[in-house]
Amino acid sequence: MLRLDQFARDERAIEGLPVRLVVAFVVGVAVLSVMLSMVSGVDTLAVSELDASPDPDVVTPGDQSVDVTAVDADGDPVAGATIVVKPGTADLDGVATATTGDDGTATLDITPTLGANQADGTLQISVKPPSGSEYADRRENTEILVVRD
């Protein structure tokens, strides 16, 4: 108990320690803010996901015209995006591409086909965001379903 009493009555301290901690903290925060302001591209961390909204999303084999709208995470149309339609489980003669207009919609003329014993299939849609935009297309997009009559 004697040691605890001596410790409680001891008024000696390391003078200047709290001031040194405060100065080190302030200088550290100032240096960190200068370093972050020098780093370019910090604002590119906020990226919005693009999705494709085809109309119609169910078609039959043969010549078809499909309107595909590029939409952001809020459902707003995105102008200047490139829409790419590729074969999935349904066949397509090549790859169809188009760029969305001011209304965010692109019209693609496609000719999907199905195999002899195939009742249905899909066409894959990918969206390439406008260059220099805050958009990205990392997730699966809506597919076009091709159904035999």
Q: How much is the pTM?
A: 0.64
Do residues 79 and 113 both lie within one domain? Answer: yes
pLDDT one-digit tens code per residue, 71-97: 888 888 889 989 999 998 888 888 999
Find tokens 């803010």 and name the residue.
Answer: 33
Do residues 69 and 135 both lie within one domain? Answer: yes
Tokens of 112: 């999907």
d(CA 83, CA 102): 14
Do residues 96 and 131 both lie within one domain? Answer: yes
Do residues 28 and 11 both lie within one domain? Answer: yes
What CATH number is attached to the domain comprising 127?
2.60.40.10
* Residue ranges making up the domain that contains 128: 48-147
pLDDT one-digit tens code per residue, 39-61: 755 555 567 888 888 888 899 99
